């Protein structure tokens, strides 16, 4: 059963009508068959139209869709092999940020990303994808490992933000994020960051200071959540849609602003409608980017990455 | 003119108060009333409770730098209002207001000069300018401050004060986190010290980037320092926050800061620290 977003209600109505008709149509009545075909073309047109015209706030909801592929799905679909590595060697093994060795085709690399979980139990275990300091320190450790053993780094960003809690503050959430960003920028190996769902603020950028930043077509990436922005600047969370517009958070916006390098097309109706296709498309793109980046020397990679960020906003 | 002010102006007994409102200073912490002059002469520290009041860049430079040693590093031009952002008010108007109020271009000002004869570049964030928030102008100023330190082969000292990133510049404000971090890496590779002095308040994206990357981390007493806002945390964990949570002293106890230094000792401490970190250059 697909879960429908609010703005998908007309599509939901058509699709459930189709299912109903199918159930009554086991005799193979031609009338019903042609009715189904008509409805199907209508609903797929509606789906396509809706998804080509998604507002930034609707995209936010798609990016947060419970059935959207998450880190574990991407890892399973993208790589022929995955060896999970864990722990920050200091405090614990944060389950919101996962990583390990992985093989993309013949290419060995280190993959790191946020995992949100997909049911109540796993969401709690993964803390809804909100990393704690030990998670960012684990990422630093894995990036360091990649750097020393000449393995490219691929990150999959999908977080509403770093965890805001007393224990996280106690253990230096801000410092952990700052060091993780610093580590990204120091790497002498290729780094590709992909915002696959939500790119929430510092908790996202800590894994995304890469020379190539990719974004899925309906992913969002912003300095603060639309709700947070609305509650501060409009003094009500109800204006999240307006805030999402104003902040320019979509992949299309960010490509125009020069913040991201490439948009990865999603299946019609979003990655959750055909996650295999979404993952395969991303896999191809990562392979292409890596083919280019592995040609570069360590120092060239580092300076390309640094120049990219130094240039942002200068005239 | 409204009918009310017409009437009021005709009443002779209502005269303007002779004493200006700002003759007295009320301490934000202990609420003691002290003469403003006394408060200012005491480096904007409450003489009753030692609470360190917030100060702007010019006051800070006057306190920290050798007299007549310092001059401003000019602002580099950046894109202004890149998103044409508008909430209940236009961002362009907010900028105009902040500039009128502070007389400054944006929220981070750099000077080059000396502290106890030691050359350095010093940047100060101005909380009075849109909460010290970090957008393109602040990020660029930070990079320019670091570059000047590289050119002069001297330390870069930053006094932080900010609510975080400047939301009105959207993703571009977030990108200042990696951008400023690149500048710190350049200092590090050149063997030049980057010293952070955290002042009240320093939170959000500023804390989660350059404010936590100092070679030596100093804070003024009592400063609020944190990543997440206290209300956000309370809403997440649904419990009361511990006493003294996110203060300079709390961060020191948790290993995030080297020194909590009284404002009156700050200049001498900075000179001492610079002495150690630049000794290798003097020896070379």
Chain centre to alpha carbon of residue A60:
11
- The helix/strand/coil state of A35 is helix
Indicate yes or no: CB of B182 within 8 angstroms of CB of A164: no
Checking DSSP bridges between strand B24-26 and strand B33-35, what pairing results, if any? antiparallel
Angle between helices A173-186 and A133-148 (to 10 degrees): 20
CATH code of the domain in which B163 resides: 3.90.226.10
- For B80, residues 6+ apart whose C-beta sits below 8 A from its C-beta are B92, B95
User: Which residue blocks in chain B are alpha helix, DSSP H?
Assistant: 3-10, 36-41, 57-64, 91-102, 136-152, 170-174, 176-189, 230-237, 248-253, 263-277, 279-283
One domain for residues B59 and B184? yes
Instruction: Write the ipTM.
Output: 0.95
Same domain, B13 and B109: no
The residue with greater pLDDT, B284 or A4, is A4
How much of chain A exceeds pLDDT 90, in percent? 90
B5 touches chain A (CB under 8 A): no
Q: What is the largest CA-CA distance in chain A?
A: 69
Same domain assignment for residues B93 and B25: no
Q: Do residues B25 and B62 both lie within one domain?
A: no
Give yes or no: residues B117 and B226 share one domain: yes
Question: Over 90: is that where the pLDDT of B281 sits?
Answer: no
Reply yes or no on whether the pLDDT at A109 is more than 80.
yes
| C-alpha distances in Å from residue B66, one per residue of B71, B114, B147, B263, B280 | 11, 6, 22, 15, 23
B189 to chain A, closest Cα gap in Å: 11
User: How confident is the model over B203-217, as pLDDT tens digits?
Assistant: 999 999 999 999 999
Find, among A128, A181, A126, the residue nearest to A155 by Cα: A181
What is the mean pLDDT of the segment spanning B117-139? 97
Give the residue ranges of DSSP H helices in A206-315: 226-229, 240-247, 251-256, 275-293, 298-311
Please check whether residues B100 and B212 belong to one and the same domain. Answer: yes
Structural domain that includes position B227: 54-283
Bridge partners (DSSP) of residue B122 are B111, B157
Q: Which of B84, B87, B233 to mutate to test the interface with A (most CBs of A within 10 A)?
A: B87
What is the nearest CA distance from B32 to chain A, expressed in angstroms?
31
Q: What digits encode the pLDDT tens for the residues B58-89?
A: 999 999 999 999 999 999 899 999 999 999 89
Kindly list the distances between the CA atom of residue A54 and the CA atoms of A41, A44, A69, A270, in Å, as whole numbers in the listed order. 20, 15, 19, 11
Contacts of B187 in chain A (CB under 8 A): none
Is A143 within 8 Å of A184 (Cβ atoms)? yes
Average pLDDT, chain B: 93
In the block, residue with structure tokens 């350095």 = B120
If DSSP codes are grouped into helix, strand and coil, which group holds residue B35?
A: strand
CATH for A60-311 is 3.90.226.10
What is the rounded end-to-end Cα distance, in angstroms, of chain B?
72
Residue B147 and residue B72 share a domain: yes
Of the residues B19, B35, B51, which one is the last residue of a structural domain?
Answer: B51
Residues of B with Cβ-Cβ distance to A206 under 8 angstroms: 208
**At what angle are helices A298-311 and A173-186 packed, to 10 degrees?**
120
**B233–A169 CB contact, under 8 Å:** yes
Asked if A303 is an interface residue toward chain B (Cβ–Cβ < 8 A), one would say no
Instruction: Give yes or no for residue B11 having a pLDDT over 90.
Output: no
Q: Are residues B112 and B232 in the same domain?
A: yes
Q: Are residues B222 and B248 in the same domain?
A: yes
Per CB-CB distance under 8 Å, the chain A contacts of B139 are 312-313
B139-to-A213, A231, B143, B189, B196 alpha-carbon distances in Å: 20, 25, 6, 20, 16
Q: How many CB atoms lie within 10 A of CB B279?
A: 10
Asked if B198 is an interface residue toward chain A (Cβ–Cβ < 8 A), one would say: no
| CA atoms of B265 and B137, how far apart (whole Å) | 31
The residues that bridge with A157 in the sheet, in sequence order, are A195
Say if residue B149 is in the same domain as residue B277.
yes
Q: How many A-B residue pairs are in contact by the CB < 8 A criterion?
A: 173
What are all long-range contacts of A17-20, with beta carbons under 8 Å and residues at least 24 apart?
A18/A43
Q: How many domains is chain B built from?
A: 2
Question: The tokens of A123 are what?
Answer: 């969401």
Model confidence pLDDT, tens digit, residues A137-193: 999 999 999 999 999 999 999 999 999 999 999 999 999 999 999 999 999 999 999
**Residue listed under structure tokens 């296709």:** A277
Closest CA to B83 of B192, B205, B172: B172
Q: Largest Cα–Cα distance in chain B?
A: 78
Q: What is the mean pLDDT of chain A?
A: 95
pLDDT digits (tens, 9 = 90+) for B166-208: 999 999 999 999 999 999 999 999 999 999 999 999 999 999 9
Residues B173/B138, Cβ–Cβ less than 8 Å: no
pLDDT band at B3 (very low <50, low <70, confident <90, very high): low
| Residues of chain B numbered 109-138 and touching chain A (CB < 8 Å) | 136
- Which of the residues B228, B234, B243 would you substitute to probe the A interface, choosing the one with the greatest number of A C-beta atoms within 10 Å? B228
Q: Please, how many CA atoms are within 13 Å of residue B188, restricted to the half-sphere of its CB? A: 14
Quick one: B28 and B139 in the same domain? Answer: no
Where does a domain end: B33, B51, B69?
B51
CB B167 to CB A182 under 8 A? no
- Same domain for B105 and B25, yes or no, is no
Can you tell me whether residue A240 is helix, strand or coil?
helix
Name the residue of chain B whose CA is nearest to A209's CA.
B178
**Helix-helix angle A298-311:B176-189, to 10 degrees:** 130
Residue B213: which of A182, A247, A306 has the nearest Cβ?
A: A182
């Amino acid at each position: 059963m697909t879960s429908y977003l609010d703005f998908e209600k007309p599509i939901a109505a058509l699709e459930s009508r189709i299912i109903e008709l199918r159930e009554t149509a086991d005799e193979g009545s031609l009338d019903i068959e042609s009715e189904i075909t008509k409805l199907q073309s209508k609903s797929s047109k509606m789906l396509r139209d809706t998804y080509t015209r998604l507002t930034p706030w609707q995209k936010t909801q798609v990016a947060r869709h419970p059935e959207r592929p998450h880190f574990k799905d991407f890892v399973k679909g993208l790589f022929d092999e995955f060896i999970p590595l864990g722990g920050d060697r200091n405090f614990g093994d944060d389950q919101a940020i996962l990583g390990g060795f992985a093989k993309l085709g013949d290419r060995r690399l280190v993959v790191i990303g946020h995992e949100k979980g997909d049911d109540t139990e796993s969401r709690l275990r993964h803390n809804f994808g909100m990393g704690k300091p030990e998670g960012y320190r684990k990422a630093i450790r894995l990036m360091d490992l990649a750097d020393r053993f000449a393995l490219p780094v691929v990150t999959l960003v999908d977080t509403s933000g770093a965890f805001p809690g007393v224990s996280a503050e106690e253990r230096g959430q801000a410092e952990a994020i700052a060091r993780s960003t610093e580590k990204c920028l120091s790497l002498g190996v290729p780094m590709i960051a992909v915002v696959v769902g939500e790119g929430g603020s510092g908790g996202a950028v800590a894994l995304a200071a890469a020379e190539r930043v990719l974004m899925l077509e309906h992913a969002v990436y912003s300095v603060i959540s639309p709700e947070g922005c609305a509650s501060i600047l409009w003094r009500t969370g109800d204006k999240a849609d307006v805030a999402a517009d104003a902040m320019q958070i979509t992949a299309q916006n960010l490509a125009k602003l020069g913040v991201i390098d490439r948009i990865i097309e999603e299946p019609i109706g979003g990655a959750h409608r055909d996650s295999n296709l979404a993952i395969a498309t991303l896999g191809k793109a990562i392979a292409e980017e890596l083919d280019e980046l592995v040609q570069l020397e360590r120092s060239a990679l580092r300076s390309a990455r640094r120049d990219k960020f130094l240039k942002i906003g200068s005239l | 003119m409204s009918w009310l002010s017409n009437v009021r102006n005709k009443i002779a007994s209502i005269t303007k108060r002779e004493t200006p409102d700002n003759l007295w200073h009320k301490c934000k912490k202990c609420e003691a009333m002290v003469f403003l002059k006394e408060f200012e002469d005491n480096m904007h520290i409450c003489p009753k409770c030692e609470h360190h009041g917030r100060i702007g860049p010019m006051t800070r430079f006057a306190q920290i730098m050798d007299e007549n040693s310092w001059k401003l590093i000019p602002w580099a031009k950046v894109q202004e209002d890149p998103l044409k952002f508008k909430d209940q008010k236009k961002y362009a108007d907010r900028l105009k207001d902040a500039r009128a109020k502070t007389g400054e271009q944006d929220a981070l000002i750099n000077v080059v000069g000396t502290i106890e004869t030691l050359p350095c570049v010093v940047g100060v964030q101005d909380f009075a300018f849109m909460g010290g928030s970090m957008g393109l102008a602040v990020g660029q100023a930070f990079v320019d401050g670091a570059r000047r330190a590289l050119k002069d082969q001297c330390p870069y000292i930053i006094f932080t004060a900010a609510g975080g990133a400047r939301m009105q510049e959207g993703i571009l404000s977030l990108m200042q986190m990696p951008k400023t971090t690149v500048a710190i890496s350049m200092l590090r590779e050149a063997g030049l010290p980057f010293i952070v002095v955290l002042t009240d308040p320093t939170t959000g994206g500023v804390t989660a980037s350059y404010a936590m990357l100092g070679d030596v981390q100093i804070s003024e007493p009592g400063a609020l320092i944190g990543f997440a806002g206290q209300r956000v945390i309370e809403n997440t964990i649904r419990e009361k926050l511990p006493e003294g949570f996110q203060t300079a002293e709390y961060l020191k106890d948790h290993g995030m800061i080297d020194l909590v230094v009284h404002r009156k000792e700050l200049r001498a401490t900075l000179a001492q620290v610079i002495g150690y970190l630049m000794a290798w250059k003097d020896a070379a």
